[in-house]
Amino acid sequence: MTKLRHTLTALAALLPVAGCATTSGPVEPMCRAPNAQEMQIFRAVIGRDRQTLIANSAQGPARNALLRNDPYLNNHLWGSQGYTGGTLLGVLTQPPPCVLDMPVADPATQREIVVYQRARYDALRPPMGLSPEAVMFTPWGTHRQDYFRCRFVNTAEGWRMTDLCALATAQSGIG
């Protein structure tokens, strides 16, 4: 009986350690290829296909800017006078894209992705083997230069982009 008690005591002492080993902390998102809708949006940006972008955008200021053919939106997506640095087009025209799914509060109603050019992502990410605290993921690099954030909301029509990949508007809180 004493041997059994010691064994149970030893096992009970290991439980907290086992819990720590299986508890997942922050995990670095994995680079993936764009899903079908994301690829449709990216092709629309490259092809300057406003109608596809409108169809994939939720009601709101970013969609309204598309409908108005807003020059600020045009610069955000496509650049100006052939200069595409800092634009979504600039990132997308250096394939392949690398998409990361970001953690969100309610994945049933919202989602957020980060889009990199794959070689740039590989160059910016820290070495593997860092502690979970070290890889608490915030996109690496400079927003609008190395990557773009794109937010989606689940609507009656399905997933729709809310911000045209970080278009700064008064309502977006971006900028």
What does the pLDDT look like over 114-163, one tens digit per residue?
999 999 999 998 776 654 544 556 788 888 889 999 999 999 999 999 99
Q: What is the pLDDT of residue 4?
A: 37
Can the peptide bond before residue 96 be classed as cis, meaning omega within 30 degrees of 0? yes
What does the pLDDT look like over 105-125, one tens digit per residue?
999 999 999 999 999 999 998
Give the percent of the chain with pLDDT over 70.
74
Reference 128, options 40, 31, 58; nearest CA is 31
What does the pLDDT look like over 25-52, one tens digit per residue?
555 678 999 999 999 999 999 999 999 9
3-state helix, strand, coil in the chain (%, to 5): 40, 20, 45
CA atoms of 150 and 62, how far apart (whole Å): 12
Specify the length of the chain in residues: 175
CA atoms of 58 and 152, how far apart (whole Å): 8
- Structure tokens, 5: 């008690």
Give the percent of the chain with pLDDT over 90.
58
SS3 category, 57: strand
